[in-house]
Each structure stands twice: as structure tokens, then as C-alpha cells.
Amino acid sequence: MKVQVLFFGATADETGEREIEFSLAENTNANQAFAEIVEKFPRLKNHKLLFAVNQEYASGGEIVKGGDELAVFTAVSGG
């Protein structure tokens, strides 16, 4: 199945991407999905990362579904 993965700020710079399509096995949970994404873009390991699934902070155990919107970003710094 395929999901969208979004990157912002530092993670966009590290990956050279802002939005990609990413293939995952069925019944992959969020922790596994994000581990696979980080493996594909090892430079992300230089950062403490936060993850979101469908615009909510990921808890980790939730099962990712085809078409979901995942996001990988660094600790936020607005304000």
C-alpha cells in the first residue's frame, strides 16, 4: 500500500523532499512506518524527530492505512 509522507523545515532540507509517496506493507504500525522512512533517509537521524499520522501526533502503535498522510518533522519552533 502507498502513503504520502510530508517533510518540513530541517527534515525537508535533509531529505531534499517535501512530499513523497512511500510503500509500506499492510498492517504496518506508525512506529514501523517511521523507522522505514528514517532508514530510507538516514540523514534524518541527525535530529530528534516528531511524527504525525493524518495531521495528529502519532502514538506509535496505530496501524497505518493506504492513503494516510504521514509527516516527519523536528521539534517545533514557532512563536
Partner 1 sequence: MDFFEITNDPLDVGAIARRVVPANCGATITLDGYVRQFTKGRETLHLVYEAYEPMALKEMEKLIAKARERFEIENVGIVHRLGKLEIGETSVVVTVAAPHRRAAFEACEWLIKELKRTVPIWKKEVYRGGEIWIEGEPAIKN
- Which residues contact partner 1 by CB under 8 A? 6, 8-10, 13, 34, 47-52, 55-60, 71, 73-79
Q: List beta partners, residue 2.
A: 23
CA dihedral sign, ordered 19, 25, 28, 32: negative
Closer by beta carbon to partner 1, 27 or else 59 = 59
The nearest distance, CB 51 to partner 1, in angstroms, is: 5
The nearest distance, CB 65 to partner 1, in angstroms, is: 18
Closer by beta carbon to partner 1, 28 or else 74 = 74
